[in-house]
Amino acid sequence: MTTTETLDVQPTPLALLLLGRESDPRSERGVDCPGDLPAPSDPNLVERARAAKARLGSKVFILGHHYQRDEVIEFADVTGDSFKLARDAAARPEAEFIVFCGVHFMAESADILTSERQQVILPDLAAGCSMADMASAEQVAECWDVLADAGVAEVTVPVSYMNSSADIKAFTGRHGGTICTSSNAERALEWAFAKGEKVLFLPDQHLGRNTAVGDLGMSLEDCVVYNPHKPGGGLTVEQLRAAKMILWRGHCSVHGRFSLESVQDVRDRIPGVNVLVHPECKHEVVSAADYVGSTEHIIQRLAEAPAGSAWALGTELNLVRRLAKAHPDKQIVFLDKTVCFCSTMNRIDLPHLVWTLESLADGKLVNRIQVDAETEHFAKLALEQMLALP
Ligand code: 13P
Ligand code: SF4
């Protein structure tokens, strides 16, 4: 479970919280920014961010996920996907404050991987992840009981995507599993299948299926989907015993939007286009695409692509726009016709960053993300297992 320094509120059953008013520390939802946020229209915001960062000097280290807004990325000391940022956070023991411009589960992972002395800060506590919220600790514990009753828990290794709460990472560590990201999911699954007969993959069914089928050569029939909202996950004992991959029924609300029609449509509009998508997309979309790869992979492939080539990207829009700007010699378009930012990533904006940096420079610790000691211990086992993957 995560606690926050500035808040003392009880978990709430509300599905939606009033922004700026409440927080639910047991989930990815919630926000509270005590004090005054500068107005987004303040013409001095950039200057104020620069000045506050300069006042903090080497005490602060700002991490920026690739899906962040341009105005935030401008102030990041490093940018990366969730795997790179987890490593970068762990490699900066001298920084007192790690300001994580990303989402809640990433800040939790940074807190787990950094030292006691370091404080991890999320500029807006409403920057959660809907996918991470699709697997709660209670639901996952119940699922493990279902696997035990079917007699398969002992031969099942949990592999959890980075995009999960610290509680789920701790569950994974307790049961001898590993964390993975979209950059190393194939290696994580190979490791897990060398250790056990089955994998419980949490919480993104699409990354699990795409990696098992696309990279490990399994069939779709080897995979079953565990639905936490149905008794027994909606699966029979026979189905659980026959499956190799038990996929949690979770998905990304951004990447899950891309459809087979969007792929067909872009091929009609741009003859010869290369379709490159993130493995959080549905299996049918990944199968219809020309290439699939993590955020870092997408960036790398675009950098190496020949001038004049055309690309349709199935990933978050802030990144797609930045790539299009960085490579004016290539035609780079968004795979879907409708706008698709990650709304929670986008919650981190310049006013929140300025408020965070100025508060820290004034000696006020705000929006600290702190994972409790027991959760941290077990979650760290699973995260370190990921960092040690061959
Ligand atoms: P990566 O950063 O691992 O590519 O994951 C994408 C994502 O959805 C982050 O929230
Ligand atoms: Fe979560 Fe998807 Fe947003 Fe990533 S892009 S933070 S997985 S909702």
Tens-place pLDDT, residues 246-286? 999 999 999 999 999 999 999 999 999 999 999 999 999 99
Ligand closest in space to the Cα of 316:
2
Across 54-80, average pLDDT: 96
**What single string gives the DSSP state of each residue in 262-273?**
HHHHHHHHSTTP
Ligand closest in space to the Cα of 255:
2
Q: For position 38, what pLDDT does the model report?
A: 76
Q: Which domains does the chain have, with CATH numbers?
A: 2-130+344-372 (3.40.50.10800), 132-251 (3.40.50.10800), 255-334 (3.40.50.10800)
- 213-233 pLDDT, tens digit per residue, is 999 999 999 999 999 999 999
End-to-end alpha-carbon separation of the chain, Å? 30
**pTM score over 0.85:** yes
Contact between 248 and 135 under an 8 Å Cβ cutoff? The reply is yes
Atom in ligand 1 nearest the alpha carbon of residue 81:
2
The tokens for 257 are 């939007």
Q: How far, CA to CA in Å, does 192 sit from each of 104, 216, 378?
A: 26, 12, 17
Q: For position 33, what pLDDT does the model report?
A: 57
Q: Ligand 2 center to residue 387 CA distance, Å?
A: 22
Atom in ligand 2 nearest the alpha carbon of residue 131:
1
Structure confidence at residue 17 as a pLDDT band (50, 70, 90)? very low
Atom in ligand 2 nearest the alpha carbon of residue 204:
7
Q: Ligand 2 center to residue 4 CA distance, Å?
A: 22
Q: Ligand 1 center to residue 93 CA distance, Å?
A: 24
Across 147-160, average pLDDT: 98
| 295 Cβ inside 6 Å of ligand 1 | yes
Q: Ligand 2 center to residue 172 CA distance, Å?
A: 20
Q: Ligand 2 center to residue 184 CA distance, Å?
A: 17
Q: How far, CA to CA in Å, does 358 sit from each of 59, 77, 361?
A: 13, 17, 5
- 43-57 pLDDT, tens digit per residue, is 799 999 999 999 999
Contact between 223 and 213 under an 8 Å Cβ cutoff? The reply is yes
The preferred substitution site among 254, 258, 315, 348 for testing ligand 2, maximizing ligand atoms within 8 Å of CB, is 254
| 79 Cβ inside 6 Å of ligand 1 | no
Ligand closest in space to the Cα of 318:
2
Contact between 131 and 252 under an 8 Å Cβ cutoff? The reply is yes
| 181 Cβ inside 6 Å of ligand 1 | yes
Q: For position 35, what pLDDT does the model report?
A: 63
- Give the C-alpha separation, 347 to 182, whole Å: 23
Q: Ligand 2 center to residue 256 CA distance, Å?
A: 10
Q: Which residues contact 230 (CB under 8 A, 6 or more apart)?
A: none
